[in-house]
């Protein structure tokens, strides 16, 4: 007979997970199939090559604009610099996750199907209130998936705003110039860039229309890279914090007379130790997957925040319309870096609370074997689960404040240099 917890995990696996669906779709749009059990990988290599070539051509066009206006003023090409950084980070992420595809697939599969909790042996014990225990564990996991969906979809809405702005800006600009100001009726490019072309008599190759839609695709590639891979981190870490919540609940009830009979408590605690070992392995896999890409993301985000602050200081003199656009971009970048730190802090906080749960159960009235397991787990859980930034420091609320402070210092330096 199948384990009741495994049956419940099978049921949860079939439930719709909107946040995870959009994460998988965003990665798939870049040619990276992190859920091969759902989608075919037949054309992924071709899609990756096409996406990479398009992104590199857009980056080249942006760099060409920066070089052409380098002697004018920083305000002229600061937007092109922002987009260049964003697209470049997207390309780096795409190459990184393609290189770590096997680890990504394994983590997504383990998260979605609940492999960490399967065959735990907990419900093989003759526990008197298995249904109540199963219902409690199921409630924790379902509530955790709801939190994941809400957080991922909130980030989805935030990232969509700058994409809509860059997509619709040339059309609104055309309407404004042609029908309101009645000055010129020419369709402008989506953002400042110089796309190379060849003049063949009266014809241009590639044509203006192709160049226009080439730049139009840039915000979408940024969206897929920013939303897809950042939200993947949120899904994995939030699920890990949910697993720790499950373990905390089990440990808190390890000495409950109504739930665990005294003669089964050692075996029950061994199942808890087994779950802790699996969570630790799951955590190490997340750490290895994101450790270095987080370093790249944090470094670039601090530069982007600095430039956005500078852009805001110059836009104040232009008007509130431009100010609103820059603020949307600023909120997106800020939320992007905040998601990493807030999610990692959640895991660290839950692991800290787990240490106290091991100690606060009534272990002093239990058998020698029970006490030995508690002492062993107190030694292991003294070191909390943290996610590092390239091995230099750890993601946390404190590190988030340091990033903002560093960006502010860079902004002041940049403004002083430009004033001189």
Q: What DSSP assignment string belongs to 284-352?
A: HHHHHHHHHHHHHHHHHHHHHHHHHHHHHHHHTTT-HHHHHHHHHHHHHHHHHHHHHHHHHHHHHHHHH
DSSP assignment of 113-129, as one string? HTGGGTT-SGGGS--TT
> CA-based angle 295:344:361, to the nearest 5?
145
pLDDT, residue 127, reads 85
* Tokens, residue 96: 């990184």
Q: Which helix or strand (DSSP H or E) is residue 394 part of?
A: strand 393-394
* Tokens, residue 379: 């030694």
CA distance 246 to 141: 8
pLDDT, residue 320, reads 56
CA distance 405 to 420: 23
Any residues with CB less than 8 A from the CB of 350 and at least 6 apart, and which?
241, 244, 245, 248, 385
Q: Name the burial class of residue 235, with classes exposed (0-12), middle (13-18) and buried (19+) by CB atoms within 10 angstroms of its CB.
A: buried
> Max CA-CA distance within the chain?
93
Whole-prediction pTM? 0.89
Q: How many CA atoms lie less than 13 Å away from 335 in the CB half-sphere?
A: 21
pLDDT, residue 411, reads 76
53-63 burial string, b = 16+ CB within 10 Å, else e? ebbebbbebbb
Residue 114 CB neighbour total at 10 angstroms: 18
pLDDT, residue 406, reads 82
Judge whether 39 and 28 are in contact, CB under 8 Å.
yes
pLDDT, residue 216, reads 85
CA distance 128 to 123: 10
pLDDT, residue 324, reads 63
Please identify which residue in the block is written with the tokens 């600095």.
306
If we measure between CA atoms, which residue out of 294, 154, 282 comes closest to residue 233?
Answer: 294
- Tell me the average confidence (pLDDT) per consecutive run of 10 residues in the chain, 420 residues long: 83 90 92 90 90 92 86 73 86 91 93 90 86 92 94 90 82 77 71 80 80 85 89 94 94 86 89 93 93 87 79 62 70 84 91 90 84 88 86 84 82 70
> What residues form DSSP beta bridges with 394?
388
pLDDT, residue 142, reads 94
């Amino acid at each position: 007979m199948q384990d009741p917890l495994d049956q419940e995990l099978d049921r949860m696996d079939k439930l719709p997970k909107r946040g995870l669906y959009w994460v998988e779709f965003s990665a798939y749009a870049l040619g990276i199939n992190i859920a091969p059990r759902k989608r075919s990988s037949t054309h992924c290599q071709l899609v990756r090559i096409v996406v990479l070539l398009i992104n590199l051509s857009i980056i080249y066009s942006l760099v060409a604009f920066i070089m052409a206006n380098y002697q004018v003023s920083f305000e002229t090409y600061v937007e092109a610099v922002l987009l260049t950084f964003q697209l470049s980070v997207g390309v780096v992420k795409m190459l990184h996750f393609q290189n770590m595809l096997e680890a990504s697939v394994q983590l997504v599969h383990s998260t979605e199907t609940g492999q960490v909790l399967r065959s735990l042996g907990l419900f093989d014990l003759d526990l008197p209130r298995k249904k109540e225990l199963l219902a409690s564990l199921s409630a924790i996991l379902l509530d955790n998936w709801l939190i994941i969906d809400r957080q991922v979809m909130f980030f989805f809405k935030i990232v969509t705003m700058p994409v809509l702005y860059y997509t619709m800006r040339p059309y609104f600009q055309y309407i404004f110039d042609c029908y309101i100001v009645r000055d010129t009726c020419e369709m402008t490019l989506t953002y400042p860039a110089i796309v190379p072309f060849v003049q063949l008599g009266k014809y241009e190759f590639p044509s203006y229309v192709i160049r226009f839609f080439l730049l139009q695709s840039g915000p979408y590639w940024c969206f897929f890279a920013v939303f897809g891979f950042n939200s993947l981190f949120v899904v994995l870490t939030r699920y890990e914090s949910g697993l720790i919540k499950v373990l905390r609940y089990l440990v808190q009830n390890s000495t409950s007379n109504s739930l665990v009979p005294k003669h089964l408590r050692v075996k029950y605690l061994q199942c808890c130790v087994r779950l802790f070992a699996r969570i630790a392995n799951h955590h190490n896999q997340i750490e290895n997957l994101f450790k270095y890409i987080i370093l790249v993301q944090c470094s670039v985000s601090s530069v982007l925040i600095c430039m956005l602050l500078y852009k805001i200081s110059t836009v104040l003199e232009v008007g509130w319309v431009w100010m609103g656009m820059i603020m949307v971009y600023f909120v997106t970048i800020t939320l992007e870096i905040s998601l990493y730190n807030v999610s990692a802090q959640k895991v660290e906080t839950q692991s800290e609370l787990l240490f106290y749960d091991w100690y606060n159960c009534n272990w002093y009235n239990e058998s020698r074997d029970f006490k030995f397991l508690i002492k062993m787990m107190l030694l292991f859980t003294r070191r909390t689960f943290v996610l590092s930034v390239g091995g230099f420091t750890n993601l946390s609320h404190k590190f988030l404040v340091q990033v903002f402070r560093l960006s502010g210092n860079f902004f002041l330096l940049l403004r002083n240099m430009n004033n001189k």
